[in-house]
Amino acid sequence: MFRRPDFDALREEMVRQQLAARDIRDERVLAAAHVVPRHRFVPRREQRSAYQDRPLRIGRGQTISQPYLVALMTQLLELKGRERVLEIGTGSGYQAALLAHLAAEVHTIERHASLAERARQVLAELALDNVHIHIGDGSLGWPDAAPYEGIIATAGAPRAPQALLDQLADGGRLVLPVGAGTRQTLQRWRRDGNQFTHEDIVPVAFVPLIGEQGWYAP
């Protein structure tokens, strides 16, 4: 007989050792990571590993990122609570769940319907009803709900898609990995009127953004 792990204790340890002990300083991000049950978003066989310091497989050849990277990208959005945000690459729904605690309204787009459906189910079970899941090509953004104060892409693009820059609100932030394969850089873009500036944050390795303003499907 296997005993069920103490997920609450594992999560507390994750926040302390992997996030707070590194450079996650935004108290709201730390609080959200503390309450969102990451193990609910991964396949059953991966649940025991859900709080480890690494990415995990979620099916359809896709991954849920390492907890630290999810927290870092979220922190870079500088959310205060009243924003409308867009996520590209719903995957498991974990990142969307964090955003649901940190912003007023979350739109998230996934190209694999089966992943979107599973994420929808978990988010509904957790009563996170400010998240709207869409199926489609997120490299084109989701113009129907634009503009967004924050946009986050969790798949690597060849360059910041113009569609996403166009859908940023004035003063808005876009956080995304740019580059191919293992040579990607996490970038943060800011819009100031019609001016766009960006900074490079850290090297990263994400799955590719497949779509019209991403990489084309093989």
Q: Which residues are catalytic?
A: 65
Residue number, 170 or 212, with CB nearest to ligand SAM: 212
| Tokens coding 33 | 């990571």
Q: Is 185 helix (H, G, I), strand (E, B) or coil?
A: strand
Residue number, 53 or 192, with CB nearest to ligand SAM: 53
Of the candidate residues 14, 86, 103, 109, the single one contacting ligand SAM (CB under 6 A): 109
CA–CA dist 14, 34 (Å, integer): 9
CA–CA dist 143, 131 (Å, integer): 16
Radius of gyration of the chain (CA): 16
Q: Which residues contact residue 133 at a Cβ distance below 8 angstroms, ignoring those fewer than 6 apart?
A: 90, 93, 96, 108, 109, 110, 116, 119, 120, 123
The reply to whether 186 sits near ligand SAM by the rule CB under 6 A is no
Residue number, 111 or 188, with CB nearest to ligand SAM: 111
SS3 content of the chain, % helix, strand, coil (to 5): 35, 30, 35
**Count of residues that interact with ligand SAM, criterion CB under 6 A:** 26
Of the candidate residues 51, 94, 148, 189, the single one contacting ligand SAM (CB under 6 A): 94
Q: Under rule CB under 6 A, which residues in 24-53 are in contact with ligand SAM?
A: none
Helix and strand totals (H; E) in the chain: 6, 9
The reply to whether 139 sits near ligand SAM by the rule CB under 6 A is yes
Of the candidate residues 85, 102, 128, 155, the single one contacting ligand SAM (CB under 6 A): 155
List contacts with ligand SAM (CB under 6 A).
Answer: 62-65, 88-89, 91-92, 94-95, 109-112, 115, 137-139, 154-155, 206-207, 209-211, 214
